[in-house]
């Protein structure tokens, strides 16, 4: 069967190459899996402790090889997106540049003793000289002020990027400096939590699972194209590249556009254009609410014809000849309306289907739950074991997966340019949709459906899904333009 699907897309320029090219792993088993599942993506799901360990390894590596404190290593890793090797190499070339870039040292070395250690410039108090401290920039302030500064910053959610208190000074306070001034345990804990979150967010190989209250963190090595990661804890499907819900075959930029479009009221303007016209006299916006074309403007009481926008008086009461309005000078104007109407129709077409599948997906979530309890009942009643009914469970899960992909084909189609490729896409989409509905029908009536029949249907649906993904899911941004605009 895999040979068959290979045939289907081998004539399809270089796209198939991208799948395998995207995964630079020569492990045979991996290649096979990626053949079976075009969405296959190597990632791991890590616990907080595992990520801490991972981060600590980078920190240790850097602090050992450069002979610096772990706190400084953290500041530098944060600035260089956790690329320890890059830091080490650049540090060998020019240590000063690296320190300035990471805001460990000031751009211009300030003269030591620049700021006084008799009066604190912030609180105007005069503590003894040993109660002052400064960062590498040499701006001395009293310890109480540092403590207060850190407290205010931490309460505002700042952790890795707390700056020196001096004017125009960009030097950042490293962890050990902050913690040596902050004594409240709750605040110290908060600071470390924020630090950790910030580290994960700035790390190109890590991403928090966006599921509600979910503690898992994904790790992966590629951050381009629609990349499916599934959480071990909450089963949320996420795109590793952009953090949005997983969206194959649509790419990250397109799904962002689509979601924004659905969320904002960009279609309101099209609605106004499609369903309203401006009064030819006072320009107020009028919505037509009845069938009669004799309009009277509610604002200026002007009588006019909806079709040609001319004065109603000239229409007389005996004959009506607006049917020839196409030859009117209003043609261009009317064309605009027609275009807006067309655009609205197109958007609604895709949006309705997108919404409909989202709803079905939710309903099928219930089916899945019902199924589970029914299987449990059967098992309790001695009608076979879990293993006997496993196929039903698998069918429902497969249905969910197929429906999910189907939902995300609509934004893709919406932004596709008309042409043979779109025709092919919509053909495959229609095929997938038909098989999914068949499967859905059979899953809902699972107990009366023959097991072989159901498994056959599962196979067909999954085949359609992978075929579509194989042909249209692209990872290489350079080649993405070959299929999409």
Partner 1 sequence: MANIAAKRIKREFKEVMKSEEVAGGAIKLELVNDSWTELKGQIAGPPDTPYEGGTFLLEIKVPETYPFNPPKIRFMTKIWHPNVSSVTGAICLDILKDQWAAALTLRTVLLSIQALLSAAEPNDPQDAVVAKQYRESPQLFNLTAKHWTNVYAGGPSSIFDFNQKVQLLIDMGIDEHQARVALSTYDWELERATEQLFS
246 contributes a contact to partner 1 by CB under 8 A: no
On whether the CB atoms of residues 239 and 41 are closer than 8 A, the answer is no
Q: Alpha-carbon Rg of the chain, whole angstroms? A: 32
* Minimum gap (Å) between residue 148 Cβ and partner 1: 6
**305 catalytically annotated:** no
Q: Locate the DSSP E strands across 266-333.
A: 276-278, 285-287, 294-296, 303-305
* Minimum gap (Å) between residue 152 Cβ and partner 1: 4
Largest CA distance in the chain: 103
167 contributes a contact to partner 1 by CB under 8 A: yes
Beta carbons within 10 angstroms of residue 321's beta carbon? 9
> Which CB atom, from 167 or from 478, has the smaller least distance to partner 1?
167
Dist CA 425 CA 411 (whole Å) = 12
> Which CB atom, from 139 or from 465, has the smaller least distance to partner 1?
139
CA 439 to each of CA 22, 82, 94, 455, 483: distance values in angstroms, whole numbers, following the listed order? 32, 46, 63, 9, 30
Dist CA 228 CA 244 (whole Å) = 10
The mark string for 168-197 relative to partner 1 (x by CB under 8 A, - otherwise) is xx----------------------------
Burial of 460 (0-12, 13-18, 19+ CB in 10 A): middle
Which pair of tokens denotes residue 85? 């090797």
145 contributes a contact to partner 1 by CB under 8 A: yes
Contacts 24+ apart (CB under 8 A), 132-135: 133/177, 133/181, 135/164, 135/171, 135/172, 135/173, 135/177
> Which CB atom, from 152 or from 430, has the smaller least distance to partner 1?
152
Dist CA 361 CA 407 (whole Å) = 9
31 contributes a contact to partner 1 by CB under 8 A: no
Question: Catalytic residue among 262, 292, 300, 305, which?
Answer: 292
User: Taking contact as CB under 8 A, which single stretch among the options 123-131, 193-201, 287-295, 331-339 is the one that binds partner 1?
Assistant: 123-131
User: Taking contact as CB under 8 A, which single stretch among the options 19-27, 89-97, 162-170, 309-317 is the one that binds partner 1?
Assistant: 162-170
136 contributes a contact to partner 1 by CB under 8 A: no
* Minimum gap (Å) between residue 184 Cβ and partner 1: 13
The mark string for 409-428 relative to partner 1 (x by CB under 8 A, - otherwise) is --------------------
User: Taking contact as CB under 8 A, which single stretch among the options 136-144, 209-217, 233-241, 445-453 is the one that binds partner 1?
Assistant: 136-144
139 contributes a contact to partner 1 by CB under 8 A: yes
How many amino acids of this chain bind partner 1 (CB under 8 A)?
21
> Which CB atom, from 160 or from 270, has the smaller least distance to partner 1?
160
191 Cα distance to chain centroid: 27
> Which CB atom, from 153 or from 254, has the smaller least distance to partner 1?
153
Which pair of tokens denotes residue 408? 């995300």
Q: Scanning residues 248 to 267, which ones bind partner 1 (CB under 8 A)? A: none
141 contributes a contact to partner 1 by CB under 8 A: yes
Would you name the residues annotated as active-site residues?
A: 292
Binding region for partner 1 (CB under 8 A) = 121-125, 139, 141, 144-145, 148-149, 151-153, 163-169
């Amino acid at each position: 069967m895999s040979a068959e699907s290979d045939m289907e897309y081998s004539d399809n320029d270089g796209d198939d190459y991208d799948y395998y090219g995207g995964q630079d792993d020569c492990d045979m088993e991996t290649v096979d899996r990626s053949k079976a599942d075009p969405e296959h993506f190597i990632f791991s799901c890590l616990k907080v402790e595992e990520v801490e360990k991972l981060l600590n390894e980078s920190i240790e590596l850097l602090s050992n090889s450069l002979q610096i404190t772990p706190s400084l290593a953290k500041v530098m890793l944060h600035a260089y997106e956790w690329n320890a090797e890059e830091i080490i190499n650049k540090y060998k070339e020019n240590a000063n540049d690296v320190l300035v870039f990471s805001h460990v040292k000031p751009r211009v070395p300030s003269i030591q003793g620049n700021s006084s250690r008799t009066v604190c410039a912030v609180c105007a108090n005069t503590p003894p000289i040993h109660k002052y401290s400064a960062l590498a920039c040499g701006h001395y302030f009293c310890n109480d002020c540092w403590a207060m500064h850190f407290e205010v910053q931490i309460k505002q959610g700042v952790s890795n990027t707390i700056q020196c208190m001096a004017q125009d000074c960009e030097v950042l306070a490293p962890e050990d400096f902050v913690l040596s001034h902050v004594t409240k345990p709750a605040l110290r804990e908060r600071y470390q939590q924020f630090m950790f979150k910030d580290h994960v967010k700035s790390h190109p190989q890590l991403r928090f699972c966006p599921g509600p209250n979910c503690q898992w963190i994904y790790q992966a090595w590629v951050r381009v194209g629609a990349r499916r990661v599934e959480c071990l804890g909450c089963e949320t499907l996420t795109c590793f590249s952009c953090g949005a819900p997983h969206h194959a075959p649509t790419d990250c930029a397109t799904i962002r556009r689509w979601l924004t479009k659905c969320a904002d009221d960009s279609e309101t303007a099209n609605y106004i254009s499609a369903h309203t016209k401006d009064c030819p006299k006072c320009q107020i916006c009028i919505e037509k609410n009845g069938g009669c074309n004799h309009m009277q403007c509610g604002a200026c009481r002007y009588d006019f014809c909806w079709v040609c926008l001319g004065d109603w008086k000239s229409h007389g009461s005996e004959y009506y000849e607006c049917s020839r309005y196409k030859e009117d000078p209003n043609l261009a104007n009317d064309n605009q309306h027609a275009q807006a109407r067309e655009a609205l129709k197109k958007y609604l077409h895709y949006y309705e289907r997108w919404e409909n599948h989202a709803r079905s997906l939710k309903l099928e979530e219930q089916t899945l739950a019902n199924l589970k309890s029914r299987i449990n009942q059967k098992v309790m009643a001695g009608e076979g074991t879990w293993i006997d009914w496993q196929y039903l469970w698998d069918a429902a899960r497969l249905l969910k997966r197929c429906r999910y992909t189907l939902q995300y084909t609509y934004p893709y189609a919406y932004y596709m340019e008309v042409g043979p490729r779109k025709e092919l896409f919509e053909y495959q989409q229609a095929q997938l949709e038909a098989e999914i509905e068949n499967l859905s029908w059979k899953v809902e009536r699972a107990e009366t459906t023959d097991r072989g029949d159901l498994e056959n249907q599962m196979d067909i649906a999954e085949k359609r899904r992978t075929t579509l993904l194989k042909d249209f899911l692209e990872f290489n941004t350079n080649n993405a333009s070959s299929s999409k605009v």
